[in-house]
Amino acid sequence: MVRIVGRVAFSAVAAGAVAIWLAVVSGIGGAAAQVQFAGLTPGLVGLLQINIQLPATLPAGNNLPLAIAFGSSVAPTVNLAVR
């Protein structure tokens, strides 16, 4: 269960950025990535948006694994290409 900071009606579209009240952890290529925002996506129903900042020391590569965990849930790992 995700707790929303603010009020959004059930099945409603978020009018603006609505943050979630849950720890979000992100990493790419074995390095920590700073989570800058995690919350409901404005204009869409039921979509969670997570904005991260990649580490400046991240090496270039075609298959760097991106991992995201929020609360006790873990998203499937995806590979990113970084130049």
Give the span between the Cα atoms of 20 and 5, in whole angstroms.
5
List, in sequence order, every residue forming a beta bridge with 31; answer none if it has no partner: 28
1: confidence class by pLDDT, cuts 50, 70, 90: very low
Assigned token pair, 72: 């006790």
- Tens-place pLDDT, residues 10-51: 445 555 666 666 677 888 888 888 888 888 887 777 788 888
2: confidence class by pLDDT, cuts 50, 70, 90: very low
Q: Where are the domains of the chain?
A: 18-82
The per-residue pLDDT for 65 is 92
- Tens-place pLDDT, residues 24-34: 788 888 888 88
